[in-house]
Each structure stands twice: as C-alpha cells, then as structure tokens.
C-alpha cells in the first residue's frame, strides 16, 4: 500500500499488529511513502518500504511562439521553442493559435481579479478573451478553468516537478517558471501573440533511474540503525489501469506517477519471488529483493541510500539470491524489547504470550538480521559500530562466499569471518561487521557496501553512516 506523508506512531496497535500477523503467516507487507521528498522520514522497520524512481521513457511537449520575438541579453538569445512536460496526446500541428495570459483575462463580472485569473482557476477567466486561444497560466493544474472558458490549449508555468508528466483534457504543456516568464515577455511584446502546441513525444531519459523528488527520504528517525527506505522501484510515468468514472479523463488506462505506482511493482516482485519459493518468510523475500537490487548512481541521487536504499529492484535476479538474511517472529520481538518496549506493550502487538527480558540494551537493536547497515553517530563523536548478521545458503549445497568491502575515506569496515563455507543448502552462518573511523560532524551520509561472491551470485548489502544530535528517539515520534 502507499502511505501518505506524515509520521506513524510506533505503538499504533492495529497497524503494528497487522504487520506482526503478516510475519507469523508468511505474508509480505509492502509500503511506500510520499511526502515532498525531504523532511519526511521512514518509520516502519517490519515493512518492505520502497521509493518511486523514474523510468527511461519521458514525455516531452513542445510549444512554439510563432512571432519572430527573441529576447536579447548580453550573452545569449532565448529560443522561441519551449519544451515542457506533459502527456500530450494531441496538438495543433503547427497551426497559429492566439495566445493569452490568464492574468489579463479576469472574469470581472464574476468577481475575479488578476491574482485569481493568473492561475486559471475554474470560473476566473473571461470566456470572451480566451475563447479559441491558448492560455498561459501561472501554475500547473488540470486545465479545467481554461476548458470551461472555451480555451483550446494551455501553457502552465510553475516551479514544477519535472520528474512527472500529467495527462490533460486539452493540448497542454508545463514549463519551468523561468521559461514561463519568457513566454509572458513575448505576450507583452506584441499586440497579436500567437503560439502552437505540438503532440507529445517520447524521449529517452538518460538520468533514469533516479528517485523522484516527491518520494520520501530517510533516515529512519525511529530506528536509527535500520536503513530506510529498503529499495526503489518504477513510480514515474507508469501506464496503469484507470476508472473512466474517475476525474476528467474518460479512459481505461492512464499514465500515473506516485509512490502508489512503485508499491505495486514491489508487491508484484515479492509475489513473483514467493511463487518460486513458497516456504520463504517475508524477511527472506525482502532480503532477496534487496541484496540483488541494481546499484544506483549517487551522483544522480544526492541523498544516496536515504533515497534508494539497497538500489533499484531487479525481480529476475531476486529469484536466485544465493544467500538470504532471514528473520523470525522472535527476532522482531527481541528487536522491540531492545527498542524499549516491555512485556505488556509487546503483547499488545503480538497478541500472544511473548515477553521481554528484565535487562535490554538499545545498542542491540542494530543486530536485527537486516540486509543493510545504518550507523547513526552522535555529532563530534568517532565512528564506531558492531553489527552481527546471519545468512542462510539458498544456493548450491557446497558454496564458498568471499566478502569484498567497498568503503570511503570516512570509515573502514572489517568483516569477520570474511569467507563463509557452506556444505549444504539451508546451512546458516554468522558474521560480524565492525565499522569505525575518526570523529565526524555534520555528515549527511557516507556510503559503502559489502558484497559476498561465490562465483555466480553477488549478495550486496549497503552501508550508510550519518550523524545525529542524539541517539534518543523524540517522544513525539514514539507515540
């Protein structure tokens, strides 16, 4: 399921209980978060959490200003072609159409004024001025206001998210604010501004996959040493089923963007892996998807693992991961106990007789058998953390895995043992990871990884080291 922006209480009984029930019954629970990207934090550690990434096909719609107006500056000239973003199924094929600025076409009889009509809101435009015209509007919207005022096309100028292309019910294109300002300059420059909008074209997006701006980022403020998100999946410009009764687009299919598009991709991939491994636990399926994910380019995603987790989902590779990081129900109970829960509160979640020991250590929370490593370091303190992990051989009976460490100058990583010998399928081995480095301050994220190889499998686990002011979880986040 896709979850709205905001925070989740750690002790939200119905939600937490449903996730534990899913673990007990070998059901995988997937989710994704949308929240304008930055400032929204992932809180769920039992859930396979994904972000939305771009695809290689992007939609481009071109607007041409047909007058010979060219804005001059000291160093350059502005083109009279403006390329914007939209799913534009129709256009004017070069025909000259009158161009009107919404701000100059206020429906004063209806009480509208410049500040309303410039956004082309419904009822704000004078139909006498915009009839059969392309209208320049100062925000991206559905185009309903222009259509109701008998306009035939719309150019929307805004600080737009260029990751996303929308479908409209009339020829349309969305421009960045600076490009929109140049269109307005052109309108002001002539008594007869005209333009045309061409049908959209598909172009290859060389930056894909990249995590969309609207998709939430880490770190995980509730469980500092659990990396979130887990991975990313396609969630931008996805061809999806659509109800003809929904909205203004009367069609059975539409192109949609959102975390609600990435989540079904992950759910389908999890079901695909489950179909080949019916006895695997949710943790095993999550591990397979994470450790086989395609590596993402941090130069395209400045938030690195806090944007894409283990990487971009690769369902085919996930069928044969080689090794899995499995987790039992009791492991999650121990994790909750180490996070500060007591027997009473744990039983509210599990619904059984689970109990917590009298003495717990919060540092042990990082030993949850997770296929990634996150180390939160208090500001102006040295980097140091020890993680213990257990892997299960799900590949050939006799296998030998060698660990390769990829680290930065900020820290070193020691894996012990660095070689794992398996003699049968299903055999379990344990290893420890020690991350250490000098004193660090104001570090958003420093990335690394560990890759286990046996000659045919690569089992990759990401490492994220970052700084925090305190390792104490705020009460406002806990409840």
Residue-wise pLDDT for 245-286, tens only, equals 876 667 788 788 888 888 889 999 999 999 999 999 999 999
Q: Is the pLDDT assigned to residue 290 strictly greater than 70?
A: yes
Q: pLDDT at position 474, please?
A: 47
Q: Mean of the pLDDT values across residues 93-103?
A: 86
CA distance 54 to 261: 11
Q: What does the domain layout of the chain look like in residue ranges?
A: 2-56+210-478, 57-204
Q: How does residue 478 score in pLDDT terms, banded at 50, 70 and 90?
A: very low
User: What distances in angstroms separate CA 235 from CA 87, 259, 264, 455, one per listed residue?
Assistant: 16, 6, 9, 33
Q: pLDDT tens, 291-312?
A: 999 999 988 888 999 999 999 9
Q: Which CATH class is domain 2-56+210-478?
A: alpha beta
Tokens, residue 8: 């989740």
Q: Are strands 97-101 and 134-137 parallel, antiparallel or unpaired?
A: parallel
Residue 470's Cα: distance from chain center in Å?
Answer: 26
d(CA 479, CA 475): 6
In this predicted structure, the answer to whether residue 47 has a pLDDT above a threshold of 80 is no
- Span 227-242, average pLDDT: 87
Question: Can you give the pLDDT at residue 92?
Answer: 65
Q: Compute the distance between CA of residue 422 and CA of residue 173 in angstroms, rounded to an integer.
A: 58
Taking Cα atoms as reference points, which of 234, 230, 370, 391 lies closest to residue 311?
Answer: 230
Alpha-carbon distance 139 to 479, whole Å?
A: 38
Please write the tens of the pLDDT for every residue from 175-202: 888 888 999 999 999 989 998 888 776 6
pLDDT more than 90, % of the chain: 46
- From residue 429, alpha-carbon distances to 400, 422, 426 in Å are 11, 8, 10
Please, what sign has the CA dihedral across residues 52, 45, 433, 425? negative
At residue 377, does pLDDT exceed 90?
A: yes
From 89-98, 218-227, 365-374, the region with the lowest mean pLDDT: 89-98
Q: Which residue has the tokens 């055999």?
A: 427
Domain at 57-204, CATH from 3.30.70.1450, 3.50.30.30, 3.30.300.20, 1.10.8.60 = 3.50.30.30
* Segment among 226-230, 288-292, 310-314, 468-472 with least mean pLDDT: 468-472
Contact assessment for residue 42 and residue 49, using Cβ atoms and an 8 Å cutoff: yes
Mean pLDDT of the chain: 81
Task: Evaluate if residue 379 carries a pLDDT over 70.
Answer: yes
Axis-axis angle for helices 329-338, 13-24 (nearest 10): 150
Which residues lie closer than 8 Å to 247 by C-beta, 6 or more apart? 142
């Amino acid at each position: 399921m896709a979850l709205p922006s905001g925070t989740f209480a750690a002790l939200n009984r119905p939600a937490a209980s449903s996730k534990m029930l899913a673990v007990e019954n070998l059901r995988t629970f997937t989710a994704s978060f949308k929240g304008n990207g930055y400032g929204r934090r992932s809180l769920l550690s039992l859930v396979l959490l994904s972000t939305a990434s771009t695809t290689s096909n992007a939609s481009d719609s071109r607007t041409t200003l047909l007058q010979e107006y060219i804005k001059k500056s000291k160093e350059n000239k502005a083109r009279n072609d403006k390329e914007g973003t939209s799913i534009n199924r129709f256009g004017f094929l070069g025909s000259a159409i009158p161009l009107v600025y919404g701000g100059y076409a206020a429906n004063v009889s209806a009480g509208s004024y410049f500040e309303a009509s410039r956004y082309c809101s419904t009822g704000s435009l004078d139909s006498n001025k915009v009839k059969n015209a392309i209208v320049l509007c100062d925000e991206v919207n559905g185009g309903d206001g222009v259509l109701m005022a008998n306009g035939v096309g719309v150019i929307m100028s805004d600080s737009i998210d260029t990751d996303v292309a929308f479908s409209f019910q009339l020829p349309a294109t969305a421009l960045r604010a600076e490009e929109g300002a140049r269109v307005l300059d052109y309108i002001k420059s002539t008594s007869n501004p005209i333009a045309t909008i061409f049908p959209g074209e598909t172009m290859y997006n060389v930056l894909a996959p990249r995590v969309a701006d609207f998709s939430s980022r880490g770190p995980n403020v509730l469980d500092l040493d659990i990396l979130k998100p887990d991975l990313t999946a396609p969630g931008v410009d996805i061809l999806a089923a659509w109800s003809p009764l929904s909205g203004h687009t009367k069609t059975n299919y539409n192109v949609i963007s959102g975390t609600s598009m990435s989540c079904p991709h992950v759910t389908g991939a999890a079901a695909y892996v489950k179909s080949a491994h019916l006895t695997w636990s949710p943790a095993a399926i999550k591990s397979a998807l994470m450790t086989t994910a395609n590596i993402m380019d941090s130069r395209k995603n400045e938030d690195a693992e806090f944007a894409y987790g283990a990487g971009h989902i690769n369902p085919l590779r996930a069928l044969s991961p080689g090794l899995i990081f499995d987790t039992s129900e009791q492991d999650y109970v121990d994790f909750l106990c180490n996070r500060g829960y007591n027997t009473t509160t744990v039983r509210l979640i599990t619904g059984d007789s689970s109990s917590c020991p009298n003495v717990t250590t919060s540092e042990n929370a990082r030993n949850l058998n997770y296929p990634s490593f996150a180390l939160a370091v208090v500001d102006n303190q040295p980097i140091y953390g020890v993680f213990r992990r257990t892997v299960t051989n799900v590949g050939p009976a006799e296998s030998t895995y060698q660990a390769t460490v990829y680290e930065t100058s900020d820290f070193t990583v020691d894996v012990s043992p660095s070689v794992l010998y398996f003699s049968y399928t299903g055999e379990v081995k344990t290893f420890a990871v020690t991350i250490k480095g000098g004193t660090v301050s104001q570090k958003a994220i420093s990335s690394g990884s560990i890759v286990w190889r046996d000659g045919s499998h690569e089992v990759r686990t990401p490492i994220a080291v970052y700084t925090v002011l305190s390792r104490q979880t705020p009460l406002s986040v806990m409840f």
